[in-house]
Each structure stands twice: as C-alpha cells, then as structure tokens.
Amino acid sequence: MTTLLEIEDVSLLYGRIKALHGISLTVDEGEIVALIGANGAGKSTTMRAVSGIRPVAGGKIWFNGEDITKLRADLRVRRGLCQAPEGRGIFPGMTVLENLDIGAYTRRDRAGVARDLARVLELFPRLAERRKQAGGTLSGGEQQMLAVGRALMSQPKLLLLDEPSMGLAPMLIQQIFSIITEINEQGTTILLVEQNAQQALARAHRAYVLETGRIVKEGTGADLLHDPSVKEAYLGVA
Amino acid sequence: MTSVREWIDSGRHAVSERWHNGPRWMRWAVIAAVIVFFYALPNREFYQWLGPIPTTGSNFGQVLFTISIYVLLAVGLNIVVGFAGLLDLGYFGFFAVGAYTVAVFTSPSSDLKTLWPWLLALPLAIVLTMISGVMLGTPTLRLRGDYLAIVTLGFAEMIRVAATSSAFLKGQRGFNQIPHPPGSYSDGKPIFGVLDPRPYYWLVLTLIILVVIGVRNLNRSRVGRAWISIREDEDAAQLMGVPTFKFKLWAFASGAAIGGLAGALFAGKQNFVSSQNLELLNSIIILAAVILGGSGNIVGAIVGGGLVAYLIERFRGIEFFGIELYEYRFMLFGVVLVVMMIFRPQGLIPNRRRAAEFKDRRKEVIVGG
Ligand SMILES: Nc1ncnc2c1ncn2[C@@H]1O[C@H](COP(=O)(O)OP(=O)(O)OP(=O)(O)O)[C@@H](O)[C@H]1O
Ligand SMILES: [Mg+2]
C-alpha cells in the first residue's frame, strides 16, 4: 500500500498560542483514518494545516510523494486534496447545484463533472430534491450533506471531513457514516475528524488520538475501540 | 407601513417576474428604449416635457455629465464591493489618479511639459490606476477582515495630501488648459468644446454601456462565480480550489481601472484639475450609491449612482425653511442609508443571491442565541 498523506512533526501557531506541538501521522491510499480527541485538541487545526488555509510553523507535509508544506491551498485542491470544512462552509446565496458546481471549480472535464454530479445526487437524494434551493436556507443536516457532496465534486484522492455528523439526528448520523464508507469503497481515501468516536472508530481502518496538540495514541480502529483509556475518555464508558 | 412595503414588494416582484419570463425581444425593446431615452435626455426639446425632473438651478446637460460620471464610478465600485465583497473606502482615490495622470501629461502647467493630447493620456491613466490598484491590493488583499477598508481609506487621504502639498501636483492652483477629447463636426468646430456639456455626457454614456457589457460578461463567467464564492465564504472558496487572492486582486484592479477612466473623462471635460476636486467624502457617496442601489447588481449600481448624484444636484439651490438643503446633503444620505439598512439591507434592486445571503440560516443562531 502506498502512503498518500504524510505529516511529519508539524506544529502550528495561532498568534503566540501553539495549537499543534509537532504531530506526525500517515494516511495510506484506500484507507479511512480517523482523528479523535476532545474539544480544542487540535483536530480542526490539523485539517487546516493539511488543506493549507493555515501556514504551519514547522514540520513537513507530503501528499502523493510531493512536498506540499508551502503549497497554496487552492493548488492543493488541484493535486487531489479536498476538505469539507468544519461548520460546513456552504455558500448561502448559491443554490444547491451552484454549490456543487463550485466544488468542481478546478476541473475542466465536463463529462466527468456531469457524472460526478449524478453520483452525488444519487448518494444524497435530499439534495436532488432541493437542487434549486439557496444553500443558506437548507437545514443543518442538508447543509452537511451538501458540504460532503461539494467536496466530492472536486474528485479528490483524499477527502478531509471535519465532523460530518455534527448536529445531525441519530438516524442521519448512521446514514452519513454509511455514505462515508460507501465513498471510501468507491475508491476515495478519507481522513475523518469526529466527536462521535464510537462511529468513527468502528468505520475507520486506523485512528489517531489527539490531546492538546499532540498525538497520544494510534492504532487500528478496532484496537482503539477496545482500548480502556480511549473507552473511558472518548466513548463515555467507564 | 408594513402593508405599504408588502404592496411595493409584491409589485416589484410582479415586474421582476414579467421581466425574467417575458420574451427576449421585449427585454431588448425595453433596454433599447431606456438607452434612447438617456441619449435624448440632455436636449432641451426633449427634457422640457419632463416637468420637475430637470434641475432648475444649473445647466441640465452639465448635471447629466456629473451624474454619468457617478454612475460609471458606481459600476466600477460594484465590482469591488458588490461582486467580490471587498470593502473599499477610498475608491475616489483611483478617480484622482486617473484625473491627475491626464493632467500631468497634457497640461501646459505641468512640470513635465509633455503636452500630450487627451486621447494619448487616456490609456496611460487607465493603466496607471490599475497598477496603483495592484500595488495597493497586493499587500492588503492577503490579509483578512477590515485591513482593506482602512488601507484604502488611507490611500485616498494620501492622494489628497500629495495633491495638496506636493509642488509637482500644484496644490490648489492645479493644472489648467487640459485638452479636450478629439473630434470635430463637419464645419470644423470641435465636438468637445467648452460651452456644450452634452457631447461629454454622450461620450460617458457610451463608455458606460461598453463597460457594463464587459462587466456583465465577466460576471457571468468563471471569474464571476469565483467572486461570488469569495464574497460568500472566503475560506470555503479557497478549500474548493478558487485562487482567492488572484481573483480579489482582479476585482480590485478592474474596479480601479474604471475609476481611473472616470477620472480621465472628468479631466478631459473640466479643463482644470486641482486638489479642490478631491472631496474625500465622494468615496463614501459612491459606496452609499452602490449599497442603496443593490450591491452586486449592475442595474442596481447604475440606479444607485444615478439617483444619488441626481439628488445631490437636485438639492442645489433649494431652500427649506431658510435652510439650504445642499449644505446638508451628506447628513441626508447618512439618514437614508441608515433607514435602508434597517428596512431593505439588500438595496433597491437587489441581487438575487445577495437577498438569499441575507436569509442565511447560519445567522439565525446569532439572532436566536
Ligand atoms: N483562529 C484561532 N485563533 C486562536 N486560537 C485558535 C484559533 N482556532 C483554534 N484555536 C485554538 O486552537 C486549539 C485547537 O482548536 P481546534 O479548532 O483545532 O480544536 P478541535 O480539536 O477541532 O476542537 P472541536 O472538537 O471543538 O472542534 C483550541 O485551543 C482553540 O482555541
Ligand atoms: Mg474542530
């Protein structure tokens, strides 16, 4: 298996506050890798470093064999790395279709875009029903689906998902996780940040546990799911 | 109050429905009629039938020229503020760069003594304003938030100070004998003279039409989509692969170029440019015009620019209980803007998307919690 993403000793600063203290992790092609941790642990920050909307203070990031540490965020999308941001980042004034269309902004192959659009609308029938509705007026769950669908439109090799289950009803959470598995089975590698550790670990091949800007544990999803300290801290089981 | 608003809204809605669903030829006919109307407007034979609309205190042709310059500026600023969502508080500075470039290269009072014809200085004025836009934008557009507003405000003030105090820019004495645009009638008389303001108005009107066609095409292209995404959520735009900095710079520079064009036209008409032409509040007036008309909508910007400039001129010479209204024009616009922000923040002729952005559900949280 080839390594798709490699983060080596990355640190990141917000002003003078250090949010990441040299973290290292890898994502192999075809995997679902989960990143779990408490609020403020630095999960979203890690995502920002990978997608490039925040510059790193130290360390290296490799994607597909290329050093992308200093590469601009929009060029990373062209390399096949796309993030559905935390808080969804839907364009409120654009319709569902226009949002999806921007997702394919970096692509020129019209036929491929049309195919992916059909695929996304099939994955999320709710979006198909509401294709002309303004993104800002969608419900929270619908926005979440749109964020995932929009990221898929860029045809990413690696899809970064920051809390895709946030604010969803239990039934929808199940649904979105099945869709994540489905996307992965169709060939997209996924790096997943989740509060919902139970689901994330059950679906992920491997996972990392982040605590105050440091990686404190790693292992297969199944291993961590049964790890006593993880159970206690993140799964709400004594 | 509410019922009146509802009534107006439903009326406007009906008009907009008919406009968008009507046959193509009908839309073209309406547009053609509007254009013919504005070309005919400065002729006395025509405007004498329009009742109280023409200004009484001053030459109506001259007023129309002023209005057309404001409209051009509003169309330019709308790219920056309306399309890309960048707050530019010093837009009038670009107008000044355009006007001064023409003055410096054409006027006999300039130290350069190049004495270029107006037409030669025009492209240079546009290019220089564009470059000044790029120079101003390159460091600031990388930053988020309100830096741009502050820097642009500072830029306009800097231009004004330079114009007032630098010997090269001649301060209040200014530059005189700036040449007019070229062209003459068949009898040898110049088209662009001193007495008749109408040809200048027609020239600006023609350029407005050309600029609007260009801007409209740009806005409907990939560039336009990129601008919308940046305006609505810059981080998300970047995460979708939109080169946000490049497109912000493009919006800023093309807005600047249009400002420079307006300045060059003004200098070519006015014959004289000095630091007294640089009323800083003009930046705010143009911004107010864009917001009033409907930020992000080209027709809105045209209507806003036209309305604001017209009202300012209409106030001239009108007394109200012994108060000269013209003196209070800025205060009146302040009041109008505040009222607009409360009752119709999306502007008179809103952009469909903008209206939806105001309904953004993410904002419900803030209101509710
Ligand atoms: N823009 C910012 N400026 C300053 N500090 C920030 C900023 N963004 C995040 N932080 C801080 O960095 C730390 C990590 O934040 P991050 O958003 O990565 O947490 P997280 O693990 O995603 O948490 P959550 O599960 O709540 O989303 C937090 O202490 C946070 O307060
Ligand atoms: Mg987070």
A196 Cβ below 6 A of ligand 1? no
- Domain with A124 in it: 92-155
Classify residue A203: in a domain, yes or no. yes
Q: With 80 as the cut, is the pLDDT of residue B349 above it?
A: yes
If pLDDT is split at 50, 70 and 90, which confidence band does B368 have?
very low
Whether A27 lines ligand 1, by a CB cut-off of 6 Å, is: no
- Which residue, A155, A172, A189, sits at the end of a domain? A155
Determine, yes or no, domain membership for A39. yes
Top-confidence range, A233-237, B254-258, B326-330: B254-258
Query: B360 pLDDT band (50/70/90 cuts)?
Result: low
pLDDT: which is higher, B8 or B133 = B133
| Residue A70 forms contact with B (CB below 8 Å) | no
pLDDT, one tens digit per residue, over B195-235 is 899 999 999 999 999 999 999 999 889 999 999 999 999 99
Ligand 1 close to Cβ of residue A16 (< 6 A): no
Q: Which ligand places an atom closest to the C-alpha of A37?
A: 1
The answer to whether residue B346 neighbours chain A at the CB level (below 8 Å) is no
Ordered alpha helix ranges (H), chain A:
43-51, 73-79, 96-103, 110-123, 125-129, 140-152, 170-185, 197-203, 221-225, 228-234
* Domain-embedded: residue A117: yes
pLDDT category, A66, cuts 50, 70, 90? very high
Measured in degrees and rounded to the nearest 5, phi and psi for residue A134 equal: -65, 135
**CATH number of the domain to which A19 belongs:** 3.40.50.300
Does the C-beta of A39 come closer than 6 Å to ligand 1?
yes
Element (DSSP H or E) covering residue B314? helix B298-315
Q: Tell me the three state secondary structure of residue A129.
A: helix
Is residue A119 a contact partner of residue A24, using CB atoms and an 8 Å limit? no
- The answer for residues whose C-beta is within 8 angstroms of residue A75's C-beta and 6 or more apart is B241
Q: What is the mean pLDDT of residues A60-78?
A: 95
Residue A35 has pLDDT above 70, yes or no: yes
Q: Which residue has tokens 């749109």?
A: A146
Report the pLDDT value the prediction gives residue A237, as an integer from 0 to 100: 62
Q: Exposed e or buried b for every residue in A146-183, given b needs 16+ CB within 10 A?
A: bbbbbbbbbbbbbbbbbbbbbebeeebbebbbebbeeb
Interface contacts (A, B; CB < 8 Å): 96
Tell me: pLDDT of A15 over 50. yes
Determine what percent of chain A is predicted with pLDDT higher than 70: 99
Listed range (A114-118, B11-15, B136-140) with the worst mean pLDDT: B11-15
How close does chain A come to B62, measured CA to CA in Å?
40
Question: Distance (Å) from the C-alpha of residue A213 to the closest C-alpha of chain B?
Answer: 22
What 3-state DSSP class applies to A72?
coil
Quote the CA–CA distance of A188 and A155 in Å, as a whole number. 9
Report helix, strand or coil for B6: helix
User: Which residues on chain B are in Cβ contact (under 8 Å) with A146?
Assistant: none
Percentage of chain B modeled with pLDDT above 90: 49
Residues A30, A134 within the same domain: no
Is some CB atom of chain B closer than 8 A to the CB atom of A71? no
Amino acid in the structure at residue A66: E
Region A46-58: mean pLDDT is 94
> Which two tokens mark A29?
């092609």
> How much of chain A, in percent, has pLDDT values that exceed 90?
77
| Whether pLDDT at A71 is above 70 | yes
Give the distance from residue B350's alpha carbon to the nearest chain A alpha carbon, in angstroms: 12
Same domain as A169, residue A114? no
Does residue B32 have a pLDDT over 80? Answer: yes
> B57 pLDDT exceeds 90?
no
Work out the average pLDDT over A68-74: 95
* Backbone dihedral angles phi then psi of residue B132, each to the nearest 5 degrees: -65, -35
Domain map of chain B by residue range?
55-280
Do A75 and A186 share a domain, yes or no? yes
d(CA B354, CA B228): 9
Higher local confidence (pLDDT), B221 or B279:
B221
- In this prediction, residue B366 has a pLDDT band, given cuts at 50, 70 and 90, of very low
Q: What is the largest CA-CA distance in chain A?
A: 53
CB-nearest to A92 from B235, B237, B357 is B357
- Tell me the three state secondary structure of residue B246: helix
pLDDT at B338: 84
Burial group, residue B106, by CB count within 10 angstroms (0-12, 13-18, 19+): buried
- For the four alpha carbons of A102, A106, A108 and A113, in that order, the dihedral sign comes to negative
The structural domain count of chain A equals 2
pLDDT band at B369 (very low <50, low <70, confident <90, very high): very low
Per-residue pLDDT band at B367 (split at 50, 70, 90): very low
Mean pLDDT of B342-353: 80
Residue B267 has pLDDT above 50, yes or no: yes
DSSP H helical segments within B22-107, as ranges? 24-40, 44-47, 60-77, 92-106
pLDDT digits (tens, 9 = 90+) for A129-176: 999 999 999 988 899 999 999 999 999 999 999 999 887 888 888 888
Residue A93: list chain B partners with CB under 8 A: 228, 232, 352-357, 360
Arithmetic mean of pLDDT, B307-314: 86
Q: Of A132, A155, A178, which residue constitutes the final position of a domain?
A: A155
Tokens representing residue B119 in the block: 């037409």
Q: Which of A128-142, B85-99, B257-271, B321-335 has the lowest mean pLDDT?
A: B321-335
The partner residue sitting opposite A53, judged by closest CB among B225, B238, B360, is B238
Specify whether A75 is located in the same domain as A187. yes
Tokens encoding B2? 């509410």
Residue A225 shares a structural domain with residue A187: yes
Nearest to B356 among A74, A136, A150 (CB): A136
Highest mean pLDDT among A20-34, A190-204, B346-360: A20-34
Report for A156-160, A229-233, B341-345: range of highest mean pLDDT: A156-160
| Residue A70 and residue A138 in one domain | no
Contact residues, chain A, for B365 at CB < 8 Å = none
A165 and A223 both lie in a single domain: yes
Q: What percent of chain B has pLDDT over 70?
A: 95
Residue B326 has pLDDT above 80, yes or no: no
pLDDT at A86: 76
Whether the per-residue pLDDT at B30 is higher than 60: the answer is yes
Check pLDDT > 50 for residue A79.
yes
> Span B272-300, mean pLDDT?
87
* Residue in A with minimal Cα distance to B243: A74
Q: How confident is the model at residue B342 (pLDDT cuts 50, 70, 90)?
A: confident
User: Is the same domain home to A75 and A163?
Assistant: yes
